[in-house]
Amino acid sequence: MTTETVTISALSHKGSGIAHGERGPIFVPYTLPGETVAIARVKDEGTVMSFATTSPDRVQPACKHFGPEGVGGSCGGCSLQHQAKPSYNGFKRDLLVQALKSKGIEAPVGDLIEAHPHQRRRLVFTVRRREKGLVIGFNQAETHHVVPVEECPIASEALISRLDALHAIARATGSDAFRITVTETLTGLDISMDGLRGGLGERERRAVTETVIKLQGIARVSGNGEIIVEPHKPQLDFDGARVVIPPGAFTQATREAEEAMAKITIEHIGKAKRVADLFSGIGTFALRIARKTAVHAVESEERAVKALDQAARMTQGLKPLTVERRDLFRRPMTPQDLKAYDAVVFDPPRAGAEAQSAELARSQVKKIVAVSCNPLTLARDLSILTKGGYKIRQVIPVDQFLWSPHVEAVALLER
């Protein structure tokens, strides 16, 4: 380890400051461009020791767990709480711009749709048993150390106010190390515990059930995908369609971002008569689109398909909505399959939709909406589509991962 003084020239795609040393770039978390800092350096990583100069864009972090001086260690959930909103928004938008440029794509990029504190409705906690008791928190960046969480300004009040309930349920499992995904639903918290070694025995299941019955506001608790206790069906609302979400199901991180992306999508597809919603999940887009037009929803995860189908059947006033279970990575929809549709929406996992984009590029679908949480794979997929004859009308960055280096995007294309 060596100590030296460096000047930060830019931010990396992970949100760390970049300084240029004699042997290449040095990455320094919790710094901003223009700042001069004394650091302790190990290889290409620097730890701030003190500041000689600070950026005018530096602000007071919102959370006591943030930064090198964070309580209990630096929580790895946020990396940009110290950056003022205007430059933060510019950084997020530029992540998308640079990803597009890397594939030679020049397209209109809109302003960032902002995220705000206390909007996050889904969090993933790490649980560890220590000598002094059970710890629930987030992993410190690049380590296995769990920082016990006492507050979280990105989380909804319904989530963070129930840490006591999470501790009680976690203790009842008797397990030493696992993960808890907590989702705020209309009927209470949906708590999904994963990584429980050997599952839960009858005594532990009974202890969890008795604990939940004593608590208020818990809709369901599941372990390794199996429902343990379910006082209420956990439900989300997609424009009046109530979906009972499967244990551990993917949901958009914030309701506000979800609604903004759905609005953009529906406006772009306009008067399309038939729409295919690919990688449809539990129906985030399909159920909303079905208010105006017929939809065919395609998804590989069986429980998500069933949840979407049931919600469609139980909702009045929808246009015809059909579902299909299909692995679009291995068996993408072909131009022949797509003949019946004049608009396609796709929202794949972080790996993107390379194979499906190649088939879409050969199709005659008039309009496409590409939604992505990974600017790099989105840029790759858009490159495939533009080479196939599509024009990008606009790409809109959406921030639903507040103070992190992650950004969502919605790309609108026409043939």
| Domains of the chain, CATH where assigned | 1-58 (2.40.50.140), 90-115+245-414 (3.40.50.150), 122-235 (2.40.50.1070)
Element (H, E) at 288: helix 286-289
Decide if 299 contacts 281 (C-beta within 8 A). yes
What pLDDT, on the 0 to 100 scale, is given for residue 3?
85
Q: Give yes or no for a contact between 52 and 36, defined as CB atoms under 8 angstroms apart.
A: yes
pLDDT of res. 314: 97
From the list 351, 371, 381, 384, the residue with the least C-alpha distance to 412 is 371
Question: Which residue type does 15 have?
Answer: G
Q: What is the pLDDT along the chain (415 residues), one digit of tens a residue?
A: 788 999 999 999 999 999 998 888 999 999 999 999 999 999 999 999 999 999 999 999 999 999 887 776 688 889 999 999 999 999 999 999 999 999 999 999 999 999 999 999 999 999 998 888 899 999 887 778 888 988 999 999 999 999 999 999 999 999 999 999 999 999 999 999 999 998 899 999 999 999 999 999 999 999 999 999 999 999 999 999 999 999 989 999 999 999 999 999 999 999 999 999 999 999 999 999 999 999 999 999 999 999 999 999 999 999 999 999 999 999 999 999 999 999 999 999 999 999 999 999 999 999 999 999 999 999 999 999 999 999 999 999 999 999 999 999 999 999 9
Is 373 a residue of the active site? Answer: yes
User: Is 279 a known ligand-binding residue?
Assistant: yes
347 labeled part of a ligand binding site: yes
Residue 337 annotated as binding site: no
Question: Can you tell me the distance from the alpha carbon of 403 to that of 81, in angstroms, rounded to the nearest whole number?
Answer: 5
Q: Determine which one of 75, 78, 152, 373 is catalytic.
A: 373
Instruction: Give kind and range of the element (H or E) at residue 397.
Output: strand 391-398
What is the C-alpha separation between 164 and 182, in angstroms, rounded?
13
Residue 302 phi, psi dihedral angles, 5° rounding: -60, -45
Please give the distance of CA 26 from its chain centroid, rounded to a whole number.
Answer: 28
210 labelled ligand-binding: no
The model carries a pTM of 0.94
What is d(CA 73, CA 82) in angstroms, rounded to the nearest whole number? 16
Task: Please answer whether residues 315 and 249 qualify as being in contact, where contact means their C-beta atoms are separated by less than 8 angstroms.
Answer: no
